[in-house]
Structure 1
Amino acid sequence: MGSRTALVEDLMERFPHVPREAVFKEDLLRGGVAFDPSALSDNEDGEVKPKSYFIFSFDHGTLPELGEAALRRPPEEIILTGGPYDLRRTVVSVRVNPASPYRVAADEHGVLGLYLDGKRISDVGVPPMPEYYRHKLANGKSVMEVAPTIQWGYLIYLTAFRVCQYFGAKEECQYCDINHNWRQHKAAGRPYTGVKDVDEVLEALDIINTYDTAKTSTAYTLTGGAITSKVQGLDEADFYGRYAKAIEEHFPGRWIGKVVAQALPKDDVRRFKDYGVQIYHPNYEVWDEYLFKMYCPGKERYVGRDEWHRRILDSADVFGARNVIPNFVAGVEMAEPFGFKTVDEAIDSTTEGLRFFMSHGITPRFTTWCPEPTTPLGKANPQGAPLEYHIRLLQAYRQTMDDFGLASPPATARPDPATRCSPSAPSWTASRPRNPPGRSEPAEHSAGRGRPELRRSGLPCVSLPVRPLRGVAMPPHKVREALVICSKVVKSSATAARFPTTLMPRWPVDLVRDAGVSCPTCRALKVPLKRRCSPSAGTRRSPTPTCARPVPPPPPNSPARPSPRA
């Protein structure tokens, strides 16, 4: 396929039910956009809100490689409308790539537009400079440096700690440039405070609160690098929690408090809640077991994938399942050298993770991977993941929410009125209503606990509910194929083939009535008798039976498989 235009139009034709706005947005997020000098801002002295570098670079080049875009920053976000594709209003976060086939430039009348392969495809709007950005703190620091806002002013992004203690090739996540971003901004002489002072944060928030008369800013996010030891004598929960405590004491109820942190033990998570945090983002990064080990070596070493997931589930007991929103980096599943080779494999793996969390009432969200060039995966995969992967992920994400009767995560930015797309979410996946028409939210999910009987059992994952969730209509074939995965060591066949230490299940699921021997976990969960695990004929029994994945039922006219012997 010769041009990017041909690729995009081919995917629009193949996936007609995915809004074309979503296709363009995903392509811009994964591949970036170039800016003509006529489209750059005048930084904090102009009329356009400039891009703030709050934690990661989210660019496809280092500061020296960005050219004039490093001196006159591009806008924080852009709005796409109209054009030959008749795009509805769509907000896209800016990721700069001087080599991108997408380019923002002004025409002969000074009107900004987005060009693809030299052809204008939409009009472009930019965010106005907010009044609070024009005011300084008492020490001369800018509000944009201390408390920048993103998502068209909806979210205040407070990066309290701008480096990560997972340091070096053996610990850093292989797609993350937080530490390099710190180094490059300091080398360029830019103001880039490593640890933000609590009083400075409060002063910046006071300026925002004073001049944001429309109350556009609705939430704040506390975030930063992982803390494996201590910072200023504080562990991770107390370090980030002290900011929330101070904010809630000085501005009670003004903003929704959120924190992005590691998956911490439940006692630490309770401290977040006590400090005033309302939403917890313990990001799980990538679902596949082998890829987590290879691409998140520090997190695997200090915590471990299974424990990380267990802590995410435990945190729902503190915040409620709907207020636990783990993020993953969409696209690293296909990153060389260890990623999946086909889109089908990558989507299957990602969907398995979505089903795992959504079966517990937890709705993850995702950030489209930007292959920053200073990271190992960015260097090896400068083009990122195929656009088809991202389009199919939108389908899988929305379908999985439908399967479990879930709505979009709370406290996301207000969606665009035309597309119902949130600027913080990849695309129309965020347009799910709180209660979809004709469907009430399942009682288990509204109570914030997912399926409590599964949580109490300590099971690591659930493929599909054994019975339809209350209030959720499921087609008969979904119920027929629904089975639980009981063993901690059972993984997908794709993962097992790539991760030799994974133990494969020895107790296949019997689709006919068993002879009385079954997995004790199945009995505890009241799995229908004919769907319980039982030993196959000729298989040596294990003292602790485990459940395996479902075997497709035989065709209607095929002879029934004989029941195994007790």
Structure 2
Amino acid sequence: MMERVRDEGNISRLESLFDRYRGIVPKEVLVKEDVLLKGLNFSEEALKGEYQEKAYYLFTFDPDKPEVVKRRARIVPQEIRISGGIWGLRPTIIQSRHSSNSPYTVGLMDGKKVLLLDGIPVAEVEFARRPVYYGTRLSNGMAVEEVAPAIYWGETADVTAFRICEYWGIGGQCKFCDINENFKAWGGLREGVGVAVPKGLVAEAVSIASEDQGVKRYLITGGSIMDGKKEAQFYLGYIQAVEERLSRRIPARLNTQALPPETLGKFYEAGVDYYHPNLEVWDPKLFSLISPGKDRLIGRNEWIRRTLEAVKVFGVGNVSPNFVAGIEMAYSDNFPYGFRRVEDAVKSTAEGIEFLMSKDVVPKFDTWGLEPLSWFGRAGVTPPPLEYYAELYVKYLELKVRYGLPWPKGLGEAGPGISKAPATGFMDMDK
């Protein structure tokens, strides 16, 4: 057990929130969200040894620019797990988001990794281990993790099939997103593959990963294609190619735009179990401003209609559109549209959650990572306070119970000390 030497501002602030939300929001959720918001620094000593390095294949999620992160001697771990410490935390898995200015640092003390907050050790730390299938070579000589890296503490084989988004070409990209900039900075991690990973390589990689007993599911994701029919054909081809090898050995998650209902049955028949037509933000005005490409080519009302129709195909609990939690509070001189008060932001998103849950849709969240090369990053917006996440998750749990819905399926088990969802704390809430 670590001994507390002195108190500091960030520790006092967290402990005041522990008291405020005692019995309502677990300490683990508050610490996790704080780390996700502020990012993590790492000492060079802590980065020695073997661990699973972060896969920069979709977004960076980092508060630091890529050139800062790439100056490190090593790529940082994909995820960390904190536990114990001065607050007696249950094991909590957190996505690594590199920030050299964060008050949180992973360092070494007496040869053990610890999480330091303002220089004070607050928790013990483990890095995600390299999955067993890492290092296996595909038929073209690439390592399998270059195509299907692991997330969710090794439980999900994650495939970014299309590594850019076409909305960027018309200035219609989502304002929180840095997918194209991420490809420019980190595309060399899969040198020679290009923006679209060959279907055969994906099928081979997922097949190998699925033989690892720790892998519980796989995810096919990637950027948007402006022609909706082409996008449906593109991603359907990946599911079909994988399932020709897997024959539904493990469940499949699909993350795309809201697809036309007439195409959804093809995905279900091909083997998709869990569908994520990510809505991003509920407020109609903010949707049009934050996701202009989606608004122009599909439209918010049509997006919602398609999401509701998807429940008829995939079933209750299997349709989980994502909200990027916090972007409704994005605000600056360059973007004076976000909610200024926590209660207003939570009320807006809760209205969306309730509407969707009343129709048997179970939304999910990722905590907003303010990437400097996203539109928001360049516009100088600020992230929401920690209280926003506590209030949002309390409301989510209340609505989930009211409508008698399960946790979003495909994300693994929920609960403090149990959840392996790395980029959000809502799955760490008490059931």
TM-score, normalised by the number of residues in structure 1 = 0.71
Distance in 2 between residues matched to 1:6 and 1:388, nearest whole Å: 14
Distance in 1 between residues matched to 2:189 and 2:82, nearest whole Å: 32
Distance in 2 between residues matched to 1:420 and 1:184, nearest whole Å: 34
How far 1:419 moved relative to its partner? 2.6
Contact 1:182–1:192 (CA under 8 A) maintained in structure 2: no
Q: How does 1:194-205 map to 2 (within 5 A)?
A: 194-205=195-206
Q: Counterpart of 2:259? A: 264
How far 1:190 moved relative to its partner? 5.6
Q: Which has the higher strand share?
A: 2
Does residue 1:161 correspond to 2:162, yes or no?
A: yes
CA shift digits 1:460-490 (9 cap, x unpaired):
xxxxxxxxxxxxxxxxxxxxxxxxxxxxxxx
Q: Counterpart of 1:274? A: 269
Distance in 2 between residues matched to 1:273 and 1:286, nearest whole Å: 26
Q: Counterpart of 1:355? A: 354
Contact 1:145–1:191 (CA under 8 A) maintained in structure 2: no
Contact 2:330–2:382 (CA under 8 A) maintained in structure 1: no
How far 1:187 moved relative to its partner? 7.4
Letter matched to residue 305 of structure 1: R
Other structure's SS at 2:317 match: helix
How far 1:206 moved relative to its partner? 3.4
Does residue 1:36 correspond to 2:43, yes or no?
A: yes
Other structure's SS at 1:160 match: strand
How far 1:414 moved relative to its partner? 3.7
Distance 1:168 1:237, change over 3 A: closer
Residue 26 of structure 2 is aligned with which of 19, 23, 34?
Answer: 19
Other structure's SS at 2:33 match: helix
Q: Counterpart of 1:91? A: 93
Letter matched to residue 121 of structure 1: V
How far 1:79 moved relative to its partner? 0.9
Distance in 2 between residues matched to 1:396 and 1:189, nearest whole Å: 41
Q: Counterpart of 1:378? A: 377
Other structure's SS at 1:153 match: coil
Distance in 1 between residues matched to 2:254 and 2:210, nearest whole Å: 20
Letter matched to residue 228 of structure 1: M
Letter matched to residue 390 of structure 2: I
Letter matched to residue 373 of structure 2: T
How far 1:34 moved relative to its partner? 0.6
Q: Counterpart of 1:397? A: 396
Letter matched to residue 77 of structure 1: E
Does residue 1:245 correspond to 2:246, yes or no?
A: no
Letter matched to residue 10 of structure 1: S
Distance 1:311 1:280, change over 3 A: same
Distance 1:271 1:188, change over 3 A: closer
Tell me, which stretches of 5 or more residues in structure 1 are unaligned? Answer: 434-566
Distance in 2 between residues matched to 1:161 and 1:310, nearest whole Å: 25
Q: How does 1:184-203 map to 2 (within 5 A)?
A: 184-186=185-187, 193-203=194-204
Q: Counterpart of 1:427? A: 425
- Give the percent of matched residue pairs that are identical in Structure 1 and Structure 2: 38
Residue 10 of structure 1 is aligned with which of 5, 9, 16?
Answer: 16
Tell me, which stretches of 5 or more residues in structure 2 are unaligned? Answer: 1-7
Letter matched to residue 300 of structure 1: D
Tell me the matched-pair count. Answer: 419
CA shift digits 1:498-543 (9 cap, x unpaired):
xxxxxxxxxxxxxxxxxxxxxxxxxxxxxxxxxxxxxxxxxxxxxx
More relative contact order in 1 or in 2 (CA 8 Å, sep 6+)? 2
Q: Could you say which structure has the larger radius of gyration?
A: 1
CA shift digits 1:314-333 (9 cap, x unpaired):
11111123211111100001
Stretch moving more, 180-189 or 95-104: 180-189
Distance in 2 between residues matched to 1:382 and 1:31, nearest whole Å: 14
Contact 1:76–1:94 (CA under 8 A) maintained in structure 2: yes
Contact 1:401–1:407 (CA under 8 A) maintained in structure 2: yes
Q: Counterpart of 1:437? A: none
Residue 48 of structure 1 is aligned with which of 29, 44, 51?
Answer: 51
Does residue 1:311 correspond to 2:317, yes or no?
A: no
Distance in 1 between residues matched to 2:418 and 2:193, nearest whole Å: 35
Structural RMSD (CA): 2.1
Distance 1:431 1:248, change over 3 A: farther
Q: Counterpart of 2:64? A: 61
Other structure's SS at 1:280 match: strand
Distance in 2 between residues matched to 1:376 and 1:283, nearest whole Å: 19
Distance in 1 between residues matched to 2:9 and 2:289, nearest whole Å: 33
Contact 2:329–2:345 (CA under 8 A) maintained in structure 1: yes
Distance 1:429 1:187, change over 3 A: closer
